[in-house]
């Protein structure tokens, strides 16, 4: 109950990109653009003054940690880093206890975890918003930055075609749903056995725009406006590396492949294994918007945090 006797509303969580409706996604992306313009102009945008973000990390991070921590500071708030071994979570405390305790201290929690079910448990027991900073199944914060980058590069999403080349991993799965929400014409090229999960394809279909899937990267990139790739071996899959190197032969994002998409912008969520899924010359080329993507993590996450807490 609140002080006036009314029932407090349930917090809004962001565990998957389609936790936002099409209209809400548009609003968050527009807010991200406004924050980016404000930062570039040196304008104050301390919209979360005095508020605190708790950040739980089971997986290491560069972009996620720095963008969230910096973003909260720029919004006038404060961020607290909580490594798994720095809190009782690392000593076996149940996630539901951690969630309920943190809810008494902070205004919002971002969690970067292995198992997706764990971020769902945090959300179930939290009385503050929970943000999925990455799980093995999804990376919706990355998709926000991806969509912001495409919106900037293409002037919107109308008639935009994109190709995903490589592993159907967590980044790919969130991007599939993000493309469906924005009507991006997406083709996904993966080796046999490394495709997008059926339930993700079904969710995209229910949104009205499931991707074309293929095992032919040349066919996928043909005349695409955007070509996107990610590492072939994600965190926690290191013991599969040799098998994956063989399976993904022919899926490298290189200059020869990009001849079939002569006008395409190149995207990668980073970190990149240069010489594996993408060549050094491609990531350093004028067609690369990789570091725009990385910067846009900051602006998109500031917009998300302020939207969740408004």
Alpha helices, DSSP H, located in the chain: 22-40, 63-74, 95-103, 116-125, 140-154, 170-182, 198-206, 217-221, 241-247, 255-258, 280-283, 290-309
Question: Is 254 labelled a binding residue?
Answer: no
Question: Is 132 labelled a binding residue?
Answer: no
Question: Is 142 labelled a binding residue?
Answer: yes
Question: Is 149 labelled a binding residue?
Answer: no
Question: Is 230 labelled a binding residue?
Answer: yes
Burial of 162 (0-12, 13-18, 19+ CB in 10 A): buried
Question: Is 229 labelled a binding residue?
Answer: no
Give the separation between CA 175 and CA 125, rounded to whole angstroms.
27
Question: Is 141 labelled a binding residue?
Answer: yes
Question: Is 22 labelled a binding residue?
Answer: no
Question: Is 297 labelled a binding residue?
Answer: yes
Q: What is the DSSP string of 12-65?
A: P-BSSGGGS-HHHHHHHHHHHHHHHHHHHTT----TTTT-EEEEEESS--SHHH
Computed on alpha carbons and rounded to an integer, the radius of gyration of the chain in Å comes to 19
Question: Is 140 labelled a binding residue?
Answer: yes
Question: Is 74 labelled a binding residue?
Answer: no
Q: Is the C-alpha dihedral spanning 64, 175, 140, 113 positive or negative?
A: negative
Give the separation between CA 135 and CA 113, rounded to whole angstroms.
5
Question: Is 64 labelled a binding residue?
Answer: yes
Question: Is 112 labelled a binding residue?
Answer: yes
Nearest Cα neighbor of 34 from 25, 21, 43 is 43
Residues annotated as catalytic (active site), given as ranges:
112, 139, 142, 230, 269, 297
Q: Is the C-alpha dihedral spanning 135, 92, 13, 64 positive or negative?
A: negative
Question: For residue 60, what are its two tokens?
Answer: 């290491």
Q: Which residues are annotated as a binding site for L-ornithine?
A: 170, 230, 234-235
Q: Which residues are annotated as a binding site?
A: 61-64, 88, 112, 139-142, 170, 230, 234-235, 269-270, 297
Q: Which residues are annotated as a binding site for carbamoyl phosphate?
A: 61-64, 88, 112, 139-142, 269-270, 297
């Amino acid at each position: 109950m609140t002080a006036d006797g009314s029932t407090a509303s349930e917090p809004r969580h962001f565990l998957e990109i389609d936790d936002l409706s099409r209209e809400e996604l548009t609003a968050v992306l527009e807010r991200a653009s406004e924050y980016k313009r404000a930062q570039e102009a040196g304008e104050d945008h301390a919209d979360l003054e005095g508020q605190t973000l708790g950040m739980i990390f089971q997986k290491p991070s560069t972009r996620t940690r720095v963008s969230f921590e910096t973003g909260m500071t720029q919004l006038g708030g404060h961020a607290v880093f909580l490594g798994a071994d720095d809190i009782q979570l690392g000593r076996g405390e149940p996630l539901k206890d951690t969630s309920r305790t943190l809810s008494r201290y902070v205004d919002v929690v971002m969690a970067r975890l292995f198992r997706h079910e764990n971020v769902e448990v945090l959300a179930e027991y939290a009385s503050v918003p929970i943000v999925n900073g990455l799980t093995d199944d999804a990376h919706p914060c990355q998709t926000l930055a991806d969509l912001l980058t495409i919106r900037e590069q293409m002037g919107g999403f109308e008639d935009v075609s994109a190709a995903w080349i490589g592993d159907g991993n967590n980044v790919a799965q969130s991007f599939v749903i993000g493309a469906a929400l924005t009507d991006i014409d997406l083709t996904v090229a993966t080796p046999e056995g490394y495709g997008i999960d059926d339930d993700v394809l079904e969710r995209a279909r229910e949104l009205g725009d499931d991707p074309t899937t293929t095992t032919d990267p040349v066919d996928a990139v043909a005349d695409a406006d955007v070509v996107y790739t990610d590492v072939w071996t994600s965190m926690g899959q290191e013991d599969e590396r040799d098998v994956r190197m063989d399976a993904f032969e022919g899926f490298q994002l290189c200059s020869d492949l990009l001849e079939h998409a002569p006008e395409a912008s190149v995207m990668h969520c980073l970190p990149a294994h240069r010489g594996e899924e993408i060549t050094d010359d491609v990531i350093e080329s004028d067609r690369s918007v990789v570091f725009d993507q990385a910067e846009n993590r900051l602006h998109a996450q500031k917009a998300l945090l302020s939207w969740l807490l408004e």
